[in-house]
Amino acid sequence: MAPEINIPEVVAEVTAAFERYERALTANDVAVLDELFWNNPATLRYGVGENLYGYDAIADFRQGRPAAGLERTLRNTVVTTYGHDMATANTEFTRPSTERVGRQSHTWVRMPEGWRIVAAHVSLMG
């Protein structure tokens, strides 16, 4: 049996988690960013210039990332939930410093401690 798609209260939960992530990202709130990624070796993040395997590699990357120029504008954000415990969040973004369009994809899973990102991908077009 297929999971129910886009249960309204689950969409609201994941949207709130996604928005919290976005606020933390643009404010360089590393503690919240670290909290929202699942603390597990199976977690991964493919970035514009790096492939990070495991929570520790992602957390190390965050510690060394520049804290300036993180502002961005989101567009075409789509949150889709699959049952009560899994979701994807995809968005496009632009930054004032470039005309290139970025894309970000997250897979979120409800863990005992709350919604966590288990896989992420960031890329730039053109």
Per residue in 88-110, pLDDT (tens digit) is 999 999 999 889 999 999 999 99
pTM of the model: 0.95
pLDDT confidence of residue 21 = 98
Per residue in 32-52, pLDDT (tens digit) is 999 999 999 999 999 999 999
Per residue in 15-25, pLDDT (tens digit) is 999 999 999 99
The sheet that has 44-46: what strands, in order across it?
51-53, 44-46, 114-124, 98-111, 86-95, 73-82
In this structure, CATH architecture of domain 8-64+71-124 = Roll (3.10)
Indicate the domain borders of the chain.
Answer: 8-64+71-124
CA 95 → CA 51, 70, 72, 98, 114, distances in Å?
A: 22, 8, 4, 6, 30
